[in-house]
Amino acid sequence: MFSQILGALSYLHKNNICHRDIKPDNILYDKEKQQIKIIDFGVSKNMKLRGRYENMLTDTGTFYYKAPEMFAGSGYTEAVDSWAAGILLYEMITGYTPFASEYLIDTKENIVNAEINFSDEEFYYYKPMVKDLISNLLKKDPKERIKCS
């Protein structure tokens, strides 16, 4: 399922679309076709405007899935979808988002610091490459973050 999510995001990015709100609520699963579908393009953005790529500035998306650069206010790229995919994979494994805290200000601080905790027992059963994939999707620096492709 996660491979399909990355494939769908890669397709969007190749077509200059950044979803900007990847979260469980926006992923559907067709049991018959065994296929995922990404929905709700209400805040998506065409990244290529006037013939050139521009950083996006709009503060949008769901708080727990926002990438650190979205809080900086200096612009961001489609790398925010990679970040959200990393959050989604972590949540698929553990049942909760990695940076959530009781207070939103603490959650924001956790996101901005981007320190991932793999000590949960759920990760005991997963191969190191799963942790590596999550770590590379959740790199603090968007230039170091792996792309969905």
What tens digit of pLDDT does each residue of 61-94 get?
999 999 999 999 889 999 999 999 999 999 999 9
Cα–Cα distance list, 114 to 15, 42, 83, 98 (Å): 29, 27, 10, 9
Query: Under a CB-based contact definition with an 8 Å cutoff, are residues 44 and 20 in contact?
Result: yes
Q: What residues are paired with 66 via a beta bridge?
A: none
**Is the pLDDT assigned to residue 120 strictly greater than 80?**
no
Q: What is the rounded distance in angstroms from the CA atom of residue 138 to the CA atom of residue 149?
A: 15
The mean pLDDT of 109-118, rounded to a whole number, is 92
Q: What residues are paired with 36 via a beta bridge?
A: 29
Q: Give the CA angle between residues 73, 98, 131 to the nearest 5°.
A: 110
Q: How many helices (H) and strands (E) does the chain have?
A: 5, 6
Q: Which of 85, 83, 138 lies closest to 115 in space, CA to CA?
A: 138
Q: What is the rounded distance in angstroms from the CA atom of residue 127 to the CA atom of residue 38?
A: 27
Q: Is the whole-model pTM more than 0.85?
A: yes
Q: Would you state the pLDDT for residue 50?
A: 63
The one catalytic residue among 21, 25, 81, 132: 21
Q: What is the rounded distance in angstroms from the CA atom of residue 75 to the CA atom of residue 87?
A: 20
The mean pLDDT of 18-26, rounded to a whole number, is 97
- Is residue 6 helix, strand or coil? helix
**Is the pLDDT assigned to residue 25 strictly greater than 90?**
yes
Domains of the chain and CATH, by start? 2-137 (1.10.510.10)
- Helix 79-94, helix 128-137: angle, nearest 10: 140
**Is the pLDDT assigned to residue 51 strictly greater than 70?**
no
- Please say if 21 is a catalytic residue: yes
